[in-house]
Every structure is written in structure tokens, then in C-alpha cells.
Structure 1
Amino acid sequence: MTSPTATPTRHIFLTLLGLMLVALNLRPALTSVSPVLRTIGDDLSLTPSGLGVLTTLPVLFLGLAAPLAPIVARRLGMERTVLLAVALLAVALLARPYLGVAGLFIGSSAAGACIGVMGVLLPGIVKRDFPNSVSLLTGLYTALLCFGASMAAGATEPLRLLFNSDWRPALGFWMLPAAIAAVVWWLQLGAKHFPKNVGAPKKSLYRDSLAWQVTLYMGLQSALAYTVFGWLPSILQDRGVDAVAAGLALSVSIMVQVITAIAAPWISSYMRDQRFMIVLVVVLTLLGLAGCIYAPLSLMWVSAVILGLGQGGTFSMALTLLAVRARDADTAARLSGMAQGVGYTLASSGPLLTGLLHDVFHGWEVTGLFLGLIGCIAIAAGLGAGRKLYVLDER
């Protein structure tokens, strides 16, 4: 078995390139749908509730698949598991626009599951193979994740117009980055294998209150994020914004996330704990959402930027908590599996309930109150999770 320190130099470039390309594909499957959501609904006669289910399924399966990632990785190895996931992602993204309503829902679910597996395993590969550059590579990883999400949000509607107003090739286009990532990942496959984790039975995190606070914060901030991914363009279009501008507003909001995704954890590292930063970024998120729903459209771009700054920070602080609330790497990995598995499953309710509320009340005002409630509970969970404590410690 090749140890991380003995990794041949010729593999380093392909490994880094593969990591970054896979990271680039962790959000386009989700953010590419929302700019053409209304077009899909009109074409396939889907109600707002049905569209809510469509935006919910990828997030739900992302959460359901996350706990399976380490199980599959123990049998296949981490690299082969990621290769399988990114290859299946490409297939799902190509198939989902062309197999009718059932294919759209099944393909979206499969894409979410593939993303869930990759999202759990990639941080472990970074920590294992580049232990002296974790902060740098995590920053690049987060930046490319945001860039991929922004690119899909901003380009899907123009692609639809380019393809004679057909949303199917516009969605199918996003299999190309996944296919490229699969090829590059395959080229560096086999250089390393993650060792099996054999040891004494571990104390369950599911009985630890701090682990649940971290999980709840992860899930609630994700619920806000995936609601924005799925519904922000529709919210703006219903307020009178054209489809291209609405998709571009989501793209801009996601793009500016890079700023706080890197800055928020760095600034919080100089503080006594993470509570102040968590409250700050959640409040920014709620202000941005309120602006997009209630403020005059002349403030749309300001609201989109504030929303992005808030959500970039909420996401990066959630990832930071997974590391700083654990005393060792093994516990951090277990906490990551719990927080992402349970948290993303919880987060799937956000887009679904948003669609249901819109269906019932025929507007977005009540939805804004619902999202505000989610944010307030996220702040409460974050105040607990942000304390300078460690999971599994006696308290």
C-alpha cells in the first residue's frame, strides 16, 4: 500500500486537478434547475407542489446517501467510490431531461445521491493526502464549489435560449463537466487507497447533545441554501424580473459566497469561539432573503449580494464546526457523516415546504416568514454548536 507521503510526484497534479474538478460538480445538478423551473412546470404540467418535490429530491437523497459513503468506501476504496459517483452523476444529468417526468425525478434523485457520496469523501481525501495544505485546499475546494453552483445558475437560462428555448439540452449540458471530472479522476485512480478503520467500538455521536446542535445548524442553514437554489429565480420572476436576470441574480449571489466562505472561518479563528460569526452570517442571510422577497426590485442586486455573503459564511462555518468540535480526525469524520446525513435530509424539507406554502397562499409573503423562522432556529442551534467544546466529552 502506498502511503500518502510516498505518493509519486507525477500523481500530485492529476490528484489536485481531479479534486478540484469533482468539487466543481457538487452543485450544478442542483442550481441548474431553478432558472428553468417555471419552464419545466409549464412544459410538463407540474404544479408548484410538484416543482417543490423536484427541488427537494436531490437534497433528500444527498442526505440519505451521505452515511453510505464510508461503507462503500471501505469496500471499494475512496478513489474508486468517488469515480463511481462522478461517473453515475454524469449519466444521471444526461438522462434526467430526456426520460419524461419519471426520468426527471429519478435522475434528480440519483444526482443528489452521487453528490452526497462525493461530498463526504472529498474532505477526507484532502486531509489524508495533503495534511500540510488542508486550509488552502479546503478554501480552493469551497471556492470551486461556489463557482460551479454560480456558473450553472447563471448559464442555464441562456443555454435554453441558445437551444431554441428547449430546457432539455440546457439541463443535459451539465453532464459535460461531470464527464470531464470522471475522466481526470480515472487517470489518477489507483495511486492511493484509504486504510480500513479497524478498532474498538466507538461511542455513538447520536447520544451527544453537542453533535446534535452541530447537525441541526448544518441542516437548517442547508435548508435555507437549497431553498434559495431551488426557488430564488421563481420568486424574482413572480415579482416581475425576467428569467435571465433572475437566474443571473442567483448566480451573483452564489458567486459572492466565495468571499465569506474563506473569510468567515479565518476571522472566527481569532475569536474565542464561533458564536458571534455564526449569528452574523445567519442574520446577513435573513436580511438578503427579506430583501429579495419584500424590498423594492431596485434593491434586488444589493439583496442578492447580502444574501450571498451570508450564505457563504453559514456554509463555511458549518464545515468549520465539523473540524473544531472534534478532538481527532476520526471523530471529525464521524461527525461529518452524521451532520451531513441527518442535516441534508432535514434540509430537504425547505424547498418542499416552500413549494407547498406557495401553492396554498399563492404568493411568497408567508414563505418569507417561514424562512425567517428557520433562520432563528439556526441561530439558536449555532449558539450551542459554536461554544468551545468537543463532542463526546463529559459535560
Structure 2
Amino acid sequence: MQSAAMVICALALVGVNLRASLMAVTPLLPAIQSDLQLSAAHAGLVISLPVLLLGLAPAVSGRLARSISACRVVALAMAGACLGIVLRSLAGAGPLGWSCFVLGTVVLGTCLGAANATLPAIIKPLRPPSQVAAAGLLNVTLCLGGALAAIVSPMISSFLGNRWAPALAVWAIPAAVCAVVWWRLHGVQQAPSDVAARPARLSLSPLAIALGLNMAAQSFLSQATTAWLPTVLVSHGLTRQDAGGFLATLMVAQLLTALFGPWVANRMSNQRAVMASMYGLGLAGFAGCTQLHAPWNWCAAVLLGLGQGGTFSVALHLVVLRAGNSADARALGFSTQLLGYTISASAPFLFGMLRDQTHSWGFALPAYSLVTLLGLRAAHAAAAPSRPLLNKSFDIDKD
């Protein structure tokens, strides 16, 4: 068995990779769209595909994890992600280039989804203090990886003559390193009961639907923001480097509420207030980013990051708070991830399609406001104080 410190360090490495290779695309999207001659809807599809696969990939990783160790699943997934990054970077002009880009994106999204779904099985055998440290560090490195990619990718592109392909290809290096580290970290095994366990049942109880719709709303807003906010800002006159800096500021701000949001929610019997506050911060921040000028729009980016980091972390924590036991948590988690990510995957595509139809970004703030209201309604149901808490039994087949 490997030491907890080694496992936690390896989790930090995979956390950086889970977000960086996807986030690297968004500040470069205008250049990619121009070179591959993509409509806004097709460009949105590039962002939507990996998110959709994040919801569908757990079924693949679950079957694979019953045959080999969880660490080997992560290693193979990161090796596949490296291949996907390379394929995506080989895309050139014309239809063949678009096909290559989509193929690489599908491979990358599937592999990242498989790795992401396997991590709980690696964290679970750790002692409780190490579990907390591992989960917290994973959240931090997810945000830092995205922020790093948002800053570094435009800089690499600019240094190499505004070429976007090398700026995407560079993220294959940390993915390859991560694959090697996890292949050698073979001591963390699933418990026999976990290996033999069947995949979690899909719960369709009202609680599971409320949790899933809340996750879908917050993820929809996050995906739309990360996919198109840099492009909106470039259309307002910002450089790609400044737009990437905006995205990085947003993601760094997410760290605070991603860390402390669950801590606050855990001390409340009713999480409606904290969810409403986070949704409100996100809406105010998005409005400021799209309507205000410097320096106030940079302040708005901080508000947007705080809001989106909080809605994500508390939405995840609600699954734990509302489950009666570990089996219920597994079923609720599977249902929430499937429903949340499959719905939210449409966000970049829908925003791109609306941009093609209206030839303007004027719809963005009303659309963000509408989804925020829907998210508040779902959060109101999911965070109701009458719902069962962690120390109470809950049958997912009955409401």
C-alpha cells in the first residue's frame, strides 16, 4: 500500500490535468474557429462534447475498475488523454481538420471522464484526515489547473506567431507525466466488495431529480461562461491574453468558495440561503463582466468566480448531506452526475447557436439570468430542511 502522502500528491497532479487540457481551448477559441472555419454552434460543440462525456464515462470506468486497480484505470485514462490532446493538436484547415479535432476531443473527454469517476475509489480507503486533505487539494488543483491553462495557452500561442495548435499540444506533457506516475502508483487497490459491486442504480426519486437539476443549472452556467466569456470579451476589444487573464481570475476566485462553501453548508440544517447567495454572486458577476469596463469588470470576475465556485462545491456536498448511507450516496452521486452533466453539456452549443442566429451577444445576460432562476428553484427543493440528512435513512426507490 502506498503512503497517503504519495497518493495525495498524485491526486494533485491528476487534478491539474483534469481541467487544464479542456480550459486551454476557451481563450484560443476565436482563433480555432477562424482557422477551422467553424460557426459559433460548431465551436460550442467542441466545448460541449467533453462535458457530455464526463456524464457518460463513469459506466466505462466502473467496468474497467472491476478488472484492474483503480490506479491503473487512472494511468490508462491519462495516457488516453495524452493521445486525445495530440490528435486534437494535429487538426488543420478544412473538413479533415475538423474531424481530427472532434476525434481528439472525444478521446480526451472520455478519458478525463473515466479518470474523474475513478478518483473517489482511490480517496475512500484513506484515513479520514487524509480523505479531507485529498478532497480539498483535488478541488484546489482543479481550479489552479484551469487558471494556469487560461493564462499560459494564449501566451504560448502569441509567442509562436498566434498558432493555437502548439498551445494545445503542450498539455500532453503533464498528461504523460501523470500517466507514468499513476502507473507506478499501483498500491492503492479497491476493496474486494467494491470490485465485485454492481454499478450504482440510477435513482429517479424527486430528491435525486432536484439534486441533478441543481447540478445541471450550476454546471450549465459554468460551461457557458468558460466556453464563451473570453470570446465575448475579445468582441468587446480585449486581447486574447487579457481575456485569458479574466478567465484565470475567475478560476482563482473559485478557490475560496470551493473550499469554504461545503464547510458553511455542513453547519446549516437548511442550505437554501447559501445556495441562493452563491447563485446571486454569480449573476451579479456575470452582469458586471459583460456590462462594465475596467477596472470594475475585473472585480466582477472575482464575484463570478466566487459564485460559481460556491454553487459547484455546495451542490456536490448536498449529495452527501441528503444521503442516508454510503450506498445511497453512491446512487445519488451517479444520478446527479449523469443528469447534471448531460444537460449542462448543451450550454456551449446552445449559446453558440444563439450567437449564430442573433449575430450578437445581447442574449447572454438574459439567458444567464433565466438559468439562474431555474437553478434557484431546483436548489430550493434539493436543500429543503425536511429532506433526510446524513445520519438518517433514505430509500432511493421511495420518496
Do they superpose with TM above 0.5? yes
TM superposition shift of 1:296: 3.3
What are the superposed Cα offsets for residues 15-53 of structure 1, whole Å, 9 maximum, x if unpaired? 222111111111112211011100011111111111111
**Separation (CA, whole Å) in 1 of partners of 2:116 and 2:328:** 17
Question: Match of 2:19?
Answer: 27
For residues 200 and 294 of structure 2, the distance between their equivalents in structure 1, rounded to whole angstroms, comes to 52
Of 348, 351, 358 in structure 2, the residue corresponding to residue 351 of structure 1 is 348
What are the within-5 Å matches in structure 2 for residues 1-395 of structure 1?
7=1, 11-99=3-91, 100-197=97-194, 204-388=201-385, 389-390=387-388, 391-392=394-395, 395=399
Q: Could you say what secondary structure the match of 1:133 adopts?
A: helix
Structure 2, unaligned stretches of length 5 or more?
92-96, 389-393
Q: CA deviation at 1:297?
A: 4.4
The one-letter code sitting in structure 2 at the alignment partner of 1:292 is C
CA pair 204-188 structure 1, distance change in 2 beyond 3 A: closer
Further displaced range: 313-322 or 248-257: 313-322
Whether the 8 Å CA contact 1:321–1:385 is kept in 2: the answer is yes
Cα pair distance change 1:274/1:262, threshold 3 Å: same
Matched-pair contact (CA < 8 Å) for 1:208–1:392: no
Matched letter for residue 65 of structure 2: A
Aligned-residue offset at 1:85:
0.9
Residue 183 of structure 1: SS of its match in structure 2?
helix
* More displaced 10-residue stretch of structure 1: 69-78 or 279-288: 69-78
Structure 1: how far apart are the matches of 2:264 and 2:171? 35
**Would the alpha carbon gap of residues 191 and 269 (structure 1) be closer, same or farther in structure 2, given more than 3 Å must change?**
closer
C-alpha distance in 2, partners of 1:181/1:202?
A: 27
The answer (yes or no) to whether the contact 1:286–1:372 under 8 Å persists in 2 is: yes
Q: Secondary structure at the match of 2:66?
A: helix
Closer, same or farther: CA 294–66 of 1 in aligned 2, 3 Å: farther
Distance in 2 (CA, whole Å) between partners of 1:386 and 1:121 is 27
Please list the CA deviations of residues 351-383 of structure 1 after superposition, one character each: whole Å capped at 9, or x if unmatched: 110101111111111122112111111111111
Partner SS state of residue 212, structure 2: helix
Checking the alignment, whether the CA contact within 8 Å between 1:67 and 1:337 is kept in structure 2 is: no
Please state how far the C-alpha of 1:183 moved relative to its aligned partner.
1.2
Q: Which amino acid aligns with 1:213?
A: A
- One-letter code aligned to 1:183: V
Offset, 1:274: 1.5
1:177-229 CA-partner distances (Å, limit 9, x unpaired): 11111111111114423424489999954331101111111111111111111
SS at match of 1:129: coil
SS at match of 2:395: coil
Secondary structure of 2:136's aligned partner: helix
In angstroms, what is the RMSD of aligned CA positions?
Answer: 2.0
State how far apart, in whole Å, the 2-side matches of 1:97 and 1:280 are: 40
Tell me, what secondary structure is at the counterpart of 2:89?
coil
Query: TM-score scaled to structure 1, two decimals?
Result: 0.93
Cα offset for 1:318?
1.6
TM-score by length of 2: 0.92
Answer with 165-174 or 69-78: which moved more.
69-78
Tell me the CA shift for residue 248 of structure 1: 0.5
Q: Deviations over 1:302-321 (max 9, x none)?
A: 11110000011011112211
**CA–CA separation in structure 1 for the residues paired with 2:228 and 2:199:** 41
* Contact 1:120 1:336 (C-alpha < 8 Å) held by counterparts: no
* Residue identity in the other structure for 1:313: G
Quote the Cα distance in structure 1 between the aligned partners of 2:198 and 2:228. 43
Report if aligned partners of 2:54, 2:113 keep a CA contact under 8 Å in 1.
Answer: yes
Once the two structures are superposed, what CA deviation does each residue of 1:69-98 show, in whole Å capped at 9, x if it has no partner? 322212333222111111111111122110
CA drift at 1:350? 0.8
Does the residue aligned with 1:224 lie in a helix, a strand or coil?
A: helix
Q: Is the 8 A contact 2:201 2:331 kept in 1?
A: no
Residues 259-303 of structure 1: per-residue CA shift (max 9 Å, x gap): 110111111222222211111111111111111222334421011
Distance in structure 1 (CA, Å) of the matches to 2:250 and 2:18: 17
SS in 2 for 1:96: helix
Q: Are the aligned partners of 1:87 and 1:179 in contact in 2 as well (CA < 8 Å)?
A: yes
